[in-house]
Structure 1
Amino acid sequence: MQLLTPQEQNPILVSYDEYDAHVRHAEKLFSEGRLAAASLTAAVAASIAAHRHCGIFASPRIERILIGIGDALSGRDHAEIPVSRTKPIKSVLHIATELAPVGGLTRMISRWVNADKSRKNSLVLTQHRGPIPDHTKEAFARSGGRIYELNHSPGGKLEWALELRRLAKQFDAVVLHFHCEDVIPLIAFSDPKAMPPIILLNHADHLFWIGPSISQVVISLREAAEDIAINRRGVEPRRSIIMPTIVDPTVREKTRAEAKRALGIDPDCVLILSVARGVKYRSINGITFADRHAKVLAENPRAKLLVIGVGNPADWEPVKRAYPGQLETLPEIELPKAYFEAADIYVDSYPFVSSTSMMEAAGYGLPLLTIFDAPREARIFGINHVGLDGTSIVATSQADYEEKLSRLIRDEPYRRSVAEASHEAVVSQHTPPGWLAFLERVYDRVRDLPPPDPRTFTERQDLETPYLGEPDRRHHSIVGSSLSTDAITRSFMGMVPARDRYAVWRKLNANGYFKGKKAFHKYGPLLLPEWLKRSILDRR
């Protein structure tokens, strides 16, 4: 029998080896002066670490490469704009990679801008594809700002980084909402002292991401995220601050009974609602989210579970057939307001929590139930957010979950008392004006701190040793992705010069990535620059 190496036995180490190989290659390309190719390879390395956890949450080596690229580009930046770091913050540039049509981050950006009426807010999208959500366009228009799409301009990552650098210097502060692997802001802001203060929103707090080296302040949305930011990402404690997620103030249009009737739901049933992206309901060890509710549905025939975002998974069908009419599933819905109004109880997604939906549910006066059956060291995978921590009901096992949910179903006064606590906490801290007080503390902290020296971070060697304990050991089963390295590379190849695009295309072809794709039109467009594709496709 052939024995497996430790790397083959542990997916963390397998991922780390591939990540490390790409970082080393990016370092080599940078040393050869091939800046665009180095930026692409660094982005691929960061994507590997974000999608297939490597036992690390930050990379001084990747950021050292990107800072070096940005410094090397300084001579190409002919539009030197003086930056004042002392004047009040009246204009803010928000930076995002792309905006999903459904998702908490996209909504949070719009809500942030709508709430902060005293400032002019603008938005830069570095790699957005497709239409921009209407609520985003409306929010920035009301604020008096503009929306810029870098990937509609000729060039690639390096040219877009220079354009972002020039744009940012016209604002009093910058807020990063970007994706974990987006290298463009790191290149653009390689010299933080020459830029407006940079604030990073730690929205992907459970994933690897780049950015600590350039961030004057890092906002975390909960205590567990701040703990990882300081201890695993190298963020200085003085640069870390907690701010609640902002949600819209709730305006109920229908009573619970009216909302149920409008949706064709029996007003006398106890409606249990859960809303999240489908990936948050993945099965663990063959046990589905539906399976976890089978016993409760069997013992409570008046109860109905409605799950929005999961679609119609085949492995949920046995429970649907066993309890007809008691389990309903729907695809993602951009505005699920009607369902929140109809619900009696809200249950969190599992195994990955959905905090924004929990907060929205609290706003509608629903009792909140979540399950956290892992050690405390893995609390990044639980609900411990401002306003929810201490007011949500937390089950610690499947049996405990069934017991707590059954009590909520059967005990209406108990439901009301639990709901009141969550509602009060969320309304006071997650909606204006309470949320605005937290935002002002962020801007006050920014004014009180000097810009960071990237070398303080990039010279650290303790952050890139893969860790195999908690929470890393359960990372892959909860949020891990099977996205291949070739697929990751393909997504970036249009953002580099023609020479590098062709080199990547040849590599993908040699790897067999195009095998079975007979028509050239299926893979030939990969050789086109991203800006040209976006100019055609996004303006149809």
Structure 2
Amino acid sequence: MDKKDAISRLIQKNRAFFSYLLSLDEKEREPERAIQLASLAARFAADYPIGCLSSTRLETLLLKYAKDLPRPAPEEAKPRSFLHVFTQAMSMGGHTRMAERWVQNRKDKDEIHHLALTMPFSGELPLLIQEAFPSPSVFSPSSSSYLERARFLRNLAMGYERIILYHHMDDPVPILAFGTADFPRPVFIYNHADHCFWIGVSIADLVLELSTRGSEFSRTKRGVIHHKILPIPLKELEPLHLSKEESRKKLGLPQDKKVILSLGATHRYWNRGDKNFQKLMLDLLKARDDIFFLMLGATSKKKYWAAIRNSPFKERVLFHPQVPREELEDFLFAADLYLEAYPKGSGTGSMEVVLYKIPAVLIRNDFAQFDSYRDFCTPFEEVLSQVLNILDKGIPEYVLEERRKAIIDHHYPHAWNQRLEEILAKAPSRHQIHPFQEPPCEIDELSQILALNQKKYSSFFRNPLFQSLPFFLKIRIRSNGLFKGIF
């Protein structure tokens, strides 16, 4: 059996086990446990690819319980008001930053922006959230019950004109809260996990996509019909003119090397087998003895960095897993060239590099790269030669400026606000339930890449959702997984 066939069988096993979890859910009579099983199934599909990115069967189970909740009490919505909804209050994460910048971009628009959490929260909110949503504009439920949390969110949301969801892929509370036409306010989902399985398609009056490619995933692999592209909003960067020599001196980096900077957490550098970043690094280090790699955000401990750790070039590779935000610009300006993470890309980090007009090689990948720079991404097969060429000859100033302008025209406040206004002018004014046709499950390139680097199955058993199930149910689920040859 070749590698592709093995991956196909793995996805088919994932699909079979996902279906088994849904069959357990359909037989469950206790509502809270049924909802927990639905959330567990969604978590499994998000972590272990099943060939599609949504499930009509799963959402139908949750909609049944949504209809049993009391109708929301009539309430007049605050004019020009938005309720942003998170699962948890997180200090990091793209969706936290998106909501914060949404609010900042609209601060002179006479709008109301509040935040609701679907999980109970006590303690001090992360600083980023405090700045975007100053007290008392953050609300969270007090109950751990799924149905009580949904009731809380449904009643709270009645006071707002529009609802913007950034929920976790496996969070059932939004479907429970808004899974009825009795709730009248339009519900938008900001698709911050566009390559992942998530639940909520049936309640989305509009899906806000980050890119054209993400929009294609939603249409072909999720069954979404109503969606518009709204790029992530970026903060305007102050022009910086830092000296390369001074930055390197400050950071203790060699002055006589060609420094190649790459930016991204470890999981962005999965080893794809046929195309992998680690081999690309080794080829570059072999090609020139003056190349020095600076890896920001990644740790060398993962097994797919073994080739680098054990290579004769390891002294010319420096990993910096944690870099304070205030030091990032020094690292950027110390570089001769920026090389984007692969195969998952670096998104906002890459755009910031382009905005500073630092020579960059952005690599085309199979995920949903932003429209503003996908056109000047390089196919992986051509990256080696392009990097060596740029180290020799550089990139013309006019090209750097054209790329910078492309980012500004998509993501800076003036352009982003204009795009949002266009979307809101044509967006639905009343909420509906949207039955959707689940796309056929296909073992395509995206599914294969995700399966190649899926989590170990043992992590599924450590998930709190699984751990909190009754003992007999945990044994039953484990046994089925063993029978199907999954675990």
Q: What range describes the TM-score normalised by the shorter chain of this pair?
A: 0.7 to 0.9
**Judging changes above 3 Å, is the alpha-carbon distance between structure 1 residues 175 and 326 closer, same or farther for their aligned structure 2 residues?**
same
The letter for the 2-side match of 1:52 is Y
1:452 maps onto 2:432 in alignment: yes
The letter for the 2-side match of 1:404 is Q
Match of 1:276 among 264, 287, 294: 264
**Judging changes above 3 Å, is the alpha-carbon distance between structure 1 residues 100 and 367 closer, same or farther for their aligned structure 2 residues?**
farther
1:147 maps onto 2:147 in alignment: no
Aligned partner of 2:318 in structure 1 is 328
Match of 1:296 among 284, 289, 300: 284
CA contact (8 A) 2:343 2:366 kept: no
The letter for the 1-side match of 2:374 is D
The letter for the 2-side match of 1:388 is Y
CA contact (8 A) 2:351 2:407 kept: yes
TM-score by length of 2: 0.87
CA contact (8 A) 1:367 1:418 kept: no
SS of alignment partner, residue 72 of structure 1: coil
Aligned partner of 1:519 in structure 2 is none
CA distance, structure 2, for counterparts of residue 214 and residue 98 of structure 1: 20
Aligned partner of 1:387 in structure 2 is 372
Match of 2:185 among 181, 196, 216: 196
Q: Aligned-pair distance for 1:162?
A: 0.7
Q: Aligned-pair distance for 1:341?
A: 3.5
CA contact (8 A) 2:184 2:430 kept: no
**Judging changes above 3 Å, is the alpha-carbon distance between structure 1 residues 296 and 418 closer, same or farther for their aligned structure 2 residues?**
farther
Per-residue deviation, residues 437-492 of structure 1 (Å, max 9, x unmatched) = 12222222324x653333x32xx3x43x42123332332125x2225475365246
Aligned partner of 1:91 in structure 2 is 81
SS of alignment partner, residue 95 of structure 1: strand
Q: Aligned-pair distance for 1:124?
A: 1.7
Match of 2:149 among 144, 160, 174: 160
Aligned partner of 1:430 in structure 2 is 411
CA contact (8 A) 2:361 2:377 kept: yes
Aligned partner of 1:234 in structure 2 is 223
Bigger Cα displacement from structure 2, 51-60 vs 114-123: 114-123
TM-score by length of 1: 0.79
1:356 maps onto 2:348 in alignment: yes
SS of alignment partner, residue 388 of structure 1: helix
1:401 maps onto 2:392 in alignment: no
**Judging changes above 3 Å, is the alpha-carbon distance between structure 1 residues 317 and 43 closer, same or farther for their aligned structure 2 residues?**
closer
Match of 1:106 among 96, 103, 108: 96
Aligned partner of 2:482 in structure 1 is none
Q: Aligned-pair distance for 1:186?
A: 0.5
Q: Aligned-pair distance for 1:48?
A: 1.0
CA distance, structure 2, for counterparts of residue 510 and residue 471 of structure 1: 31
The letter for the 1-side match of 2:232 is T
CA distance, structure 2, for counterparts of residue 268 and residue 432 of structure 1: 39
**Judging changes above 3 Å, is the alpha-carbon distance between structure 1 residues 260 and 43 closer, same or farther for their aligned structure 2 residues?**
same
CA distance, structure 2, for counterparts of residue 245 and residue 361 of structure 1: 16
**Judging changes above 3 Å, is the alpha-carbon distance between structure 1 residues 311 and 128 closer, same or farther for their aligned structure 2 residues?**
farther
CA distance, structure 2, for counterparts of residue 354 and residue 99 of structure 1: 23
CA contact (8 A) 2:53 2:198 kept: yes
Bigger Cα displacement from structure 2, 264-273 vs 157-166: 264-273
**Judging changes above 3 Å, is the alpha-carbon distance between structure 1 residues 81 and 287 closer, same or farther for their aligned structure 2 residues?**
same
SS of alignment partner, residue 381 of structure 1: coil
Aligned partner of 1:65 in structure 2 is 61
Q: Aligned-pair distance for 1:271?
A: 2.7
* Identity fraction in percent: 24
The letter for the 2-side match of 1:111 is R
CA distance, structure 2, for counterparts of residue 193 and residue 272 of structure 1: 56
**Judging changes above 3 Å, is the alpha-carbon distance between structure 1 residues 302 and 249 closer, same or farther for their aligned structure 2 residues?**
farther
**Judging changes above 3 Å, is the alpha-carbon distance between structure 1 residues 131 and 308 closer, same or farther for their aligned structure 2 residues?**
farther
Alpha-carbon RMSD? 3.0
CA distance, structure 1, for counterparts of residue 15 and residue 476 of structure 2: 23
Match of 1:365 among 349, 357, 363: 357
**Judging changes above 3 Å, is the alpha-carbon distance between structure 1 residues 425 and 127 closer, same or farther for their aligned structure 2 residues?**
same
CA contact (8 A) 2:242 2:330 kept: no
Q: Aligned-pair distance for 1:204?
A: 0.7
Aligned partner of 1:441 in structure 2 is 422
CA contact (8 A) 1:303 1:409 kept: no
The letter for the 2-side match of 1:235 is V
CA distance, structure 2, for counterparts of residue 7 and residue 298 of structure 1: 33
CA distance, structure 2, for counterparts of residue 83 and residue 228 of structure 1: 37
SS of alignment partner, residue 265 of structure 1: coil
CA contact (8 A) 1:120 1:145 kept: no
SS of alignment partner, residue 292 of structure 2: strand
Q: Aligned-pair distance for 1:393?
A: 3.4
SS of alignment partner, residue 232 of structure 1: helix
CA distance, structure 1, for counterparts of residue 420 and residue 338 of structure 2: 28
Q: Aligned-pair distance for 1:309?
A: 1.7
CA distance, structure 2, for counterparts of residue 35 and residue 255 of structure 1: 59
Segments of structure 2 that go 5 or more residues without pairing to the other structure are 480-487
1:249 maps onto 2:236 in alignment: yes
Match of 1:138 among 116, 131, 138: 131
Aligned partner of 2:34 in structure 1 is 38
**Judging changes above 3 Å, is the alpha-carbon distance between structure 1 residues 474 and 155 closer, same or farther for their aligned structure 2 residues?**
closer
Q: Aligned-pair distance for 1:351?
A: 1.8
Matched length: 468
CA distance, structure 2, for counterparts of residue 256 and residue 209 of structure 1: 45
1:466 maps onto 2:441 in alignment: yes
CA contact (8 A) 2:91 2:127 kept: no
Q: Aligned-pair distance for 1:244?
A: 1.3
Q: Aligned-pair distance for 1:252?
A: 4.2
CA distance, structure 2, for counterparts of residue 287 and residue 474 of structure 1: 11
